[in-house]
Amino acid sequence: MSIIPERFADIMQSTALAYLATTGPDGAAQVSPVWFIWDGAALRFSTLRARQKCRNMEREPRMAVAITDPANPYRSLELRGTVVLEDDPDKLYPHVVNRKYLGTDADPAHLPPEDKRVIGVFTPEKVLVFGA
């Protein structure tokens, strides 16, 4: 059973952006918008290992995610939990999220061989909902 209330499940399947809040090395919050896939238990996203948000998540896996309904900005979720980073050496996950948001595979020009990609697997442990 999903931790997301049924009346908010549509937001998790929509093309809303997820705003990831991670903790920087100085303790300050850093917020990053990402495309995501919800599998019913975890929110998955792709990022580069070299990004600050990735370094933040490696150091401190606890984070929060905010997602607002694209059709109603007064309806949203806040998810709190932990993230695990999985290597994506074949760069397959960018294609998965690109298909959800744009209907096509990712542009290979945006996936240079030297870039190291990871999949963030965020498991919410607490969910707050706002709006009807």
Q: What is the CATH number of the domain that holds 49?
A: 2.30.110.10
The whole-number pLDDT of residue 76 equals: 98
Nearest to 45 by CA among 84, 75, 10: 84
Question: Once rounded to an integer, what is the mean pLDDT over residues 62-87?
Answer: 97
Is the per-residue pLDDT at 73 higher than 80? yes
**125: burial class by Cβ within 10 Å (0-12, 13-18, 19+)?**
exposed
Contact 111, 97 (CB under 8 A): no
Could you tell me the pLDDT band of residue 78, with boundaries at 50, 70 and 90?
very high
Find the largest Cα–Cα distance for the chain.
Answer: 45
Residue-range definition of the domain harbouring residue 41: 6-130
- E-assigned strand segments in 39-99: 43-48, 62-68, 76-87
CA distance 32 to 50: 14
Nearest to 61 by CA among 127, 3, 125, 12: 125
Work out whether strand 18-23 and strand 62-68 pair parallel, antiparallel, or are unpaired.
Answer: antiparallel
The answer to whether residue 23 sits within a structural domain is yes
The whole-number pLDDT of residue 97 equals: 96
Q: What is the mean pLDDT of the chain?
A: 95
Share of the chain above pLDDT 70, in %: 98
Question: Once rounded to an integer, what is the mean pLDDT over residues 106-111?
Answer: 85
Number of domains in the chain: 1
The answer to whether residue 1 sits within a structural domain is no
- Is the Cα torsion angle 28, 79, 74, 99 positive or negative in sign? positive
Is the per-residue pLDDT at 40 higher than 90? yes
Could you tell me the pLDDT band of residue 1, with boundaries at 50, 70 and 90?
low
